[in-house]
Amino acid sequence: MIFGVDRILDMSRTAINVTGDLTACLVMDKWVGGEKTAEQQLRDEAKREELRKKTKADVITVKALALKPVNTNADH
């Protein structure tokens, strides 16, 4: 009898724990938020991966992008 009740109580505790964890994740996501949606992040990652494959470089640098660094001086 004790084993049957313990199993039900254990499953209930697990369900409550998982629900609490998911709630905390949602609250943090809304609170901290992200600048991009998950779809935008996936698209950006796919673009970077495609560029990495084209350049055959593990690290994508400004040189690999064939871009000049932006001059931040206001004198120009």
Residue 76 CA to residue 73 CA, distance in Å, equals 7
pLDDT at position 69 is 47
75 occurs within a structural domain: no
Residue 21 clears pLDDT 50, i.e. is over it: yes
Burial readout 29-54 (b: 16 or more C-beta within 10 A, e: otherwise): eeeeeeeeeeeeeeeeeeeeeeeeee
29 and 47 in a single domain? The answer is no
The pair of structure tokens assigned to 70 is: 């932006």
Residue 3 clears pLDDT 90, i.e. is over it: no
22 and 44 in a single domain? The answer is no
The count of domains in the chain is: 2
17 occurs within a structural domain: yes
Q: Phi, psi at residue 67, to the nearest 5°? A: -115, 150
The pair of structure tokens assigned to 61 is: 């640098």
22 and 1 in a single domain? The answer is yes
1 and 29 in a single domain? The answer is yes
pLDDT in tens, 41-75: 899 889 888 888 887 777 766 665 655 444 555 45
76 occurs within a structural domain: no
The pair of structure tokens assigned to 17 is: 């724990």
State which residues form the domain around 20.
Answer: 1-33
Higher pLDDT, 58 or 13: 13
